[in-house]
A and B are shown apart, each in its own frame.
Chain A
Amino acid sequence: MNEATLEIPYEIPEGARNPVEPFLRMDRMPHIWCAGCGIGTTVNCFTRALLDSKANLDKVAIVSGIGCTGRVAGYARLDSFHTTHGRAIPFATGLKLANPELQVVVYSGDGDLFAIGGNHFIHAARRNMDLKVICVNNMIYAMTGGQTAPTTPATAITATSPYGVSEPTFNLVALAEAAGASYVARWTTYHVKQLARSMEEVLKKKGFCFIEVISPCPTLYQRRNKMGDGLDAMKDYKAKSKVRNGAPTGECTLSKTGEIVVGKFVDRERPDYLELLKAQMIESLGDRYVEPEEACCSEC
């Protein structure tokens, strides 16, 4: 790279820093994400949401699985857990049950949450476990070299589908709604304001909340499919996305070149897992029920 391109054409006041820096482990920068990748944009939105929600950051925990988005937990200056492939949700379930005052955010990718981890997603949604699940959907297994994921649109070329994907793609928002999620939204990394607002909303909402973020993978998905770079993805998202709040999620299936329906699709009230548990135990056991204040014993 030419030295001249690194020059910043304006003065940075001494001591000035990006307002999201306190939310990040700056001692781990630079991050591993490629130029044009959308994950960093979603993290920026998330930190904005934390800032705007005025959440007590000591009580926010973030859990990731494996993959490019799986690395988010490692950069967030929160109590953060980088778990195994597909198992961020059950780990987060245990964390939440042991300490219900924690706000537990699951931040992971489409392959992690919906292929290997799909079973846990539907059951956590069914239980209405109080977890905020943010799925960065780049439509491919990116970390491992661009293999087909359950979210890869039909006909797309990938490392393992050199002649084009023949399988139908997963409609994540329909799945989330059908399984019982209390909140379901989808945005793209072009919709930074709307995404940050949705993230702020779920931080204030109880129950199982799901946000899908369509995000570019210029290195593996777009390159193989001749879709240009990160900027081209933004232009594409701008042109093809249509905000339809409350749209029936069954009509929101994504395709390789078709419309991208975005918006908040579901926002409903259901008692969450711990509320249901408590009610059932009181119903059955009455005074014999001892509420798990803190599941920890007094000596610890």
Chain B
Amino acid sequence: MVERFASRIPTVGGIFIQMEDELAASITIQGAVWGGAKAFTVTSGPGFSLMMEHIGYAAMTETPCVFVNVQRGGPSTGLPTLPAQADMMQARWGSHGDYGIIALCPNSPQECFDLTITAFNLSEEFRVPVMMMLDECVGHMTEKVVIPEAEKIAVTPRRYTTQPPEEFRAFEPKGDMVPDMVKAGDGYRFHVTGLTHDERGYPSMNVETQDRLVRRLLDKLKPLANGRALCETEGLDDADVVVVSYGITSRVAQRALQMARQRGIRAGKFRLISAWPFPAERIRELAGRVKAFVVPEINLGQMVYEVERAAAGKAKVIPVSHAGGTVHKPEAILKAIVEAAQ
């Protein structure tokens, strides 16, 4: 990703800079955003751990930016260039404190292209850091990609304030709970801080401001958690068992679902495309009418806990865990589907 970007970007009027470390990269992009650019950074494994502080900074300062994480086995240096999906909870909770983020999970090169555009658009709309949570398989995959003409790509422009500087308050939320943006050099003389701040952007360390700010950082994402959650479903109308999966595992699950249907098991697909905010309402609704959820993921149990939480005991939830290094065998997922259907 970085090599291609470095080669292409000077021919289209952008800048690639290779920073000294991930701490630097993850905040250089935020400086660039406040200077008026759209910006992203890319990492894998330990690099994602190093970026956590600035994911929190982006959430707190409502800086729209994109982080791409090609997941590999961990913990620590773990399994370089071998697949895992074990950073899903880190993407959501890795920085300290309460905040919300968006995480998208492509399962093909085409989706890597399409969802990167979506990631930038969502980051502008909600003013949150957006994680592109690939896994090593999807990250290294070669497949046909159709790149549409530039004018056919919908781009969400940054919503800059139209208020004059004397009236503008940099962190005053609008109707959608998201404040308007501003950039350095336009005469607004605004202030941005990672400290708890009031609507002016000034540090204000009291219980009321903290409550108002932090609740809003989470609440502004609610539309995406529910009605607008991105997912791909198949065969849910008559399903007894639903396989909840994402990334490369969703493609292995597809084979398991085929085999299950061939055996006459009514199995359906629920593929998470936006994993965070988690589409809890959709899962809750399904839980009321299916026997069980099967949740394969290349970790020892992460998103499965979200499924369990949303299902709230109304349907069985069966994890199919894998410590990483390769993908599941379809038979392992099929076995769980068969058990679940009984």
| B-binding residues in A (CB < 8 A) | 25, 27-28, 57-59, 61, 63, 73-74, 77-84, 86-87, 90-99, 101-102, 119-120, 123, 277, 281, 285, 288-297, 299-300
User: Closest CB of chain A to B95's CB: distance in Å?
Assistant: 10
Q: Is the CB of A98 within 8 A of B36?
A: yes
Give the one of A57, A87, A101, A277 with max B CB within 10 A.
A87
Taking the complex as formed, is B222 at the interface, i.e. its CB lies under 8 A from any CB of chain A? no
**Of the residues B25, B31, B203, contact of A74 by C-beta under 8 Å:** B203
Beta-carbon contact of A81 and B192 below 8 Å: yes
Closest to A89 in B: B24
Total number of A-B contacts with CB less than 8 angstroms?
166
Chain B interface size, under 10 / 10 to 19 / 20 to 34 / 35 or more: 35 or more
**Is A84's CB under 8 angstroms from B54's CB?**
yes
Within 8 Å by CB of A58, from B12, B35, B160, B187, lies B187
A94 touches B30 (CB 8 A): yes
In the complex, the answer to whether B11 meets A82 with C-beta atoms within 8 Å is no
CB proximity of A22 to chain B, nearest CB, Å: 11
| B32 is an interface residue with CB less than 8 A from chain A | yes
**The one of A93, A119, A291 that contacts B13, using a Cβ cutoff of 8 Å:** A291
B38 CB–A CB distance under 8 Å:
yes
* Residues of the A chain whose Cβ atoms lie less than 8 Å from the Cβ of B193: 73-74, 81-82
* A295 CB contact (under 8 Å) in B14, B158, B190, B192: B14
**CB neighbours of B21 from chain A (8 A):** 119
A91 touches B30 (CB 8 A): yes
Q: How far is the CA of A92 from the CA of B33 in the complex (A)?
A: 11
Contact of A98 among B11, B39, B57 (CB under 8 A): B39
Secondary structure of the B contact surface, majority rule: loop
A292-B14 contact given A25-B191, A87-B24, A300-B158, CB 8 Å threshold: yes
**In the complex, what residue of chain B is closest to A293 when comparing beta carbons?**
B13
B35, A99: Cβ atoms under 8 Å?
A: yes
Residues of B within 8 A of A281 (CB): 10
The answer to whether A300 and B27 touch across the interface, beta carbons within 8 angstroms, is no
Q: Are A95 and B194 in contact (CB under 8 A)?
A: no
Are the CB atoms of A300 and B203 closer together than 8 Å? Answer: no
- For B184, the chain A residues whose CB sits under 8 A away are 61, 79, 95, 99, 102
A63 to B30, CA, bound (A): 12
Q: A46 to chain B: closest CB distance in Å?
A: 15
Contact check: which of A96, A120, A285 meets B24 at CB < 8 Å? A120
- Contact indicator B34/A95 (Cβ below 8 Å): yes
Contacting A at CB under 8 A, from B5-52, are 10-15, 17, 19-21, 23-25, 27-39
4 additional A-B residue pairs with CB within 8 Å, beyond A86-B23, A91-B30, A290-B13: A58-B189, A84-B54, A120-B24, A296-B158
A83 touches which of B25, B39, B57, B160 (Cβ 8 Å): B57
- Indicate whether B114 reaches chain A with its CB closer than 8 angstroms: no
Once the chains bind, are B195 and A90 in contact (CB under 8 Å)? no
Chain A nearest CB from B192 CB (Å) reads 5
Name the B residues within 8 Å of A119 (CB-CB). 20-21, 24
Of the residues A57, A84, A297, contact of B27 by C-beta under 8 Å: A84
Q: Which residues of B contact A (CB under 8 A)?
A: 10-15, 17, 19-21, 23-25, 27-39, 53-54, 57, 155, 157-158, 160, 183-195, 202-203
Complex interface: chain A residues within 8 A of B185 (CB): 58-59, 61, 79, 99, 101-102
Q: How far is the CA of A239 from the CA of B191 in the complex (A)?
A: 39
Q: Which of A123, A295, A299 is B32 in contact with, Cβ under 8 Å?
A: A295
Interface centre among B24, B25, B160, B194 (most CB of A within 10 A): B24
The interface centre, meaning the residue of B39, B160, B185, B193 with most chain A CB atoms within 10 A of its CB, is: B185
Closest beta carbon of chain B to A23's beta carbon, Å: 10
CB-CB under 8 A for A94 and B28, given A84-B53, A99-B185, A300-B157: yes
- Contact between A63 and B31 (Cβ–Cβ < 8 Å)? yes
**Chain B contacts of A120 at CB under 8 A?**
20, 23-24
Q: Please state if A87 and B189 are interface contacts (CB–CB under 8 Å).
A: no
Residues in chain B near residue A297, CB distance under 8 A: 38, 155, 157
Contact, CB under 8 Å: B23 / A87? yes
Q: How far is the CB of A273 from chain B (nearest CB, A)?
A: 8
Contact B28 A93 (CB under 8 A): yes
Residue of B nearest to A97 (CB): B15
Bound-complex Cα distance A93 to B10 (A) = 18
Chain A residues within an 8 Å CB radius of B34: 79, 81, 94-95, 98
Shortest CB distance B19–A (Å)? 6
Residue ID in chain A nearest B53 by CB atoms? A84
Query: Are A295 and B36 within 8 A (Cβ)?
Result: yes
Closest chain B residue to A103, Cβ basis: B185
Least CB distance from B159 to A in Å reads: 9
State the 8 A-B residue pairs at the shortest beta-carbon distance, nearest first.
A94-B31, A98-B35, A94-B32, A295-B37, A82-B193, A90-B24, A98-B37, A299-B157
User: Hey, which chain A residues are within 8 Å of B57, CB to CB?
Assistant: 83-84
Q: Is the CB–CB distance between B11 and A289 below 8 Å?
A: yes
Say how far B215's CB is from chain A's closest CB, in angstroms: 22
B316: shortest Cβ distance to chain A, in Å?
44
A123 touching B36, Cβ below 8 Å: no
Residues of chain B contacted by A91 (CB below 8 angstroms): 27-28, 30-31
Residues from chain A with a CB closer than 8 A to the CB of B31 are 63, 81, 90-98
Interface CB pairs A-B, < 8 A, 21: A79-B184, A79-B188, A81-B34, A84-B194, A90-B28, A90-B31, A91-B27, A91-B31, A93-B17, A93-B31, A94-B34, A94-B39, A96-B31, A97-B37, A98-B31, A98-B33, A98-B34, A119-B20, A277-B15, A295-B14, A299-B157
